[in-house]
């Protein structure tokens, strides 16, 4: 049968990324404690395309994903990047998996257990045998305003805040570690399940540890700097203010290279 994709292009301009986008696929994510969890990923698979080639072979992306192990970690992801590059005869391959990741969380006093979900992504690119990997995670936390606490006789305003981390890394970097970094940088973590005695402890902890978005983003950056696997990062903190008609925002980008 005629291979139309391999025919000469009508307009000879190279394409940076071409492939399949928003493909839903089951995924097994490896945990730090040597366990695994099943989730569903939204997958993007791309390669570059030379100026003189009309099109890529879209079906090959789906075939490669189907034949892949389906267990996500640094080494399996690198292998899939290499397979895509080789099968599509490309100089560069690009992959992104976006998925919810669940962690069991224990309440501080009652020890009641519940599942917290975090929006995550694993992105990678391979060119000339050199992989570049990136982990993304979004972690909800709680912050108490230090200014409000200092000037009010009773109470202070507090709010849900979202910490977003994007980290470029080598070797093994665990989602659990990034989630813990965000939680440890907060006034208090957000919990899946709290009894009355837990609410008391969490509230008192938060008011004993007030933090601006500036404080949180600096705390996150300091902890990310200490992780030897991380080569560069971008962290954003957005506070969904409870008494203001705006969100508070802070961002730090840094590279160790």
Report pLDDT for 198.
Answer: 95
Residues of the chain predicted below pLDDT 70: 1-9, 257
Query: Domains in the chain, ordered, with CATH?
Result: 17-255 (3.10.270.10)
Report pLDDT for 98.
Answer: 98
Report pLDDT for 79.
Answer: 93
Report pLDDT for 77.
Answer: 92
Handedness of CA 218, 219, 222, 228 (dihedral sign): negative
What confidence tens digit (pLDDT) does each residue in 116-161 have? 999 999 999 999 989 999 999 999 999 999 989 899 988 889 999 9
What confidence tens digit (pLDDT) does each residue in 14-23 have? 999 999 999 9
Quote the pTM value. 0.91
């Amino acid at each position: 049968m005629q291979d139309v994709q391999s025919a000469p292009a009508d307009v000879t301009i190279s394409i940076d990324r071409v492939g399949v986008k928003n493909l839903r696929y089951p995924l097994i994510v490896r945990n730090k404690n040597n366990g695994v969890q099943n989730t569903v990923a939204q997958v993007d698979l791309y390669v570059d395309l030379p100026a003189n080639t009309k099109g890529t072979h879209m079906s090959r992306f789906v075939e490669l994903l189907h034949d892949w192990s389906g267990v996500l970690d640094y080494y399996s992801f690198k292998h899939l990047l290499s397979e895509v590059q080789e099968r599509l005869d490309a100089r560069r391959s690009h992959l992104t998996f976006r998925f919810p990741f669940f962690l069991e969380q224990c309440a501080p006093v009652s020890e009641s257990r519940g599942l917290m979900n975090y929006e995550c992504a694993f992105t990678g690119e391979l060119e000339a045998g050199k992989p570049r990997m990136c982990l993304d995670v979004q972690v909800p936390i709680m912050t108490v305003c230090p200014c409000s606490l200092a000037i009010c006789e009773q109470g202070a305003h507090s709010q849900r805040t979202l910490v977003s981390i994007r980290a470029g890394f080598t070797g093994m970097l665990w989602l659990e570690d990034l989630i813990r970094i965000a939680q440890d940088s907060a006034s208090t973590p957000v919990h899946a399940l709290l009894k009355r005695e837990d609410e008391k402890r969490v509230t008192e902890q938060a008011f004993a540890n007030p933090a601006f978005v500036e404080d949180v983003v600096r705390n996150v950056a300091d902890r990310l700097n200490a992780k030897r696997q991380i080569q560069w990062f971008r962290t954003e903190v957005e506070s969904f203010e409870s008494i203001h008609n705006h969100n508070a925002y802070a961002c730090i980008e840094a590279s160790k290279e």
